[in-house]
Structure 1
Amino acid sequence: MTLQDKTVNKYSNDIKKNLKVSLKMKTRIMNDLNADINARREAGETIDEIIADMGTPQEVANGFNSELADCESKGSTWRYVFLGLAILSAICFVLSVVSYLIQTPYTIGSMTKNETSAFVAQVNHRVPFWVTLPFSIGCLMEYFLLKWKNCGTKKHYGLIAIMSVAAILFFVGDLIRWSISYYIELESTMHVTKGNLRIDSIMSAVKSLLYPGFWLPIITLIVSIRQRKIDISQKL
């Protein structure tokens, strides 16, 4: 081991001793720090030049401690509220699906063709698939956003963005299904013109966009995209 290698090891160890972060974060910092030092040495810089540029071990450690103070503190307690809402809405989703699967076959067996169409439309109209599942996903994503705060990685926020988009697409897709079912139900039970039926169905669909199952995933999508641009690795 050369003198410069010994100097690097001592410098790294002194920084590590002064870091006041979790063991996991400390390991990550030191891996990135050593990789950066080695890259600069390979580029031709001496260890004395690197140390002069980076600062004393205490200065380097204090910089990390200050930058990562929020990451080491506990996340907002509000995250448990969103976690509870995610679990409750997921249970509602499962119950609504089970109710639909159990109710539909037995009831349809004793109906005429027209009655069957009206019944299926009515059940589809009432089953809140498009409300509960996207809302549950949105709450779960909000839970993780509050847990990670500003300290997640690009992969973390990328996953939240993907799940948020999936929730939005599910909401919109099932909202279209619901609107068609609602149209069929009105057509089979009310004597109104098709033009009025279309307008009523469209207005009901537009009002549904005010549900949190739609806008909550949009919020988590926007936040995750913004946070993904501020990767925690940029602080290291």
Structure 2
Amino acid sequence: MKLLLDLRERLGFALILVSHDLALVSDVCDRVVVMYGGQIVETGVTADVMEAPAHHYARGLLGSVLSLETGAERLTQIRGVVPSPADFPKGCRFSDRCPMATGICRDTAPALEGTDGHGYACHHPRRHRQREGAGPMSATAEHRPIAELSDVHVVHASRGGGMFSREKVYALTGADLVIRSGETVGIVGESGCGKSTLAKVLVACNGRPPARCRSPARTCGR
């Protein structure tokens, strides 16, 4: 990890870290992206997201790690199971597991809101004051945008209930993200949430800067 960070500092490339290790992400990343059910549910400056997560999934994810590190008698768990990517609910995809969910959560998908330094997709976020001086890396010549996603979807077509039937598996839905040169961005979330898919799309979009990927849907046969 030290070698990668040294090379990033010397060469000015962006580093995307897909990981379950929240302690490592907190230590080395400038920004963090929290994913759930193929969507970005929270993103921002690492210190802001780690110290004061607004989305209740991000809070549960961090609580699980903290309960392990502090040796708590009971492990903090997020109740329920991740919904099937072939059958996501129409509202917030975390609503069946969220302690704060109401009718609007089950009926209407929340949009990503907040600030450039800390955004979240939640109808009932836990709001905090942003730290003084917190904000995204400015788009200077040294930190120019090199990849930009705007409402990107990745849908896999896989065999379903019969030999000739196909079902759609939504690996990535409505992704909006900008990656700048010289920064390290951590992508975290449970297995199967779309972390690797998001990273692969970012790499595929990385042509001559600024590379932009704007696509209503991309379907991949499997």
TM range (shorter): under 0.3
- Structure with the larger strand share: 2
The structure, 1 or 2, with the larger RCO (C-alpha pairs under 8 Å, 6+ apart) is 2
More helix as a share of residues: 1
Larger radius of gyration: 1
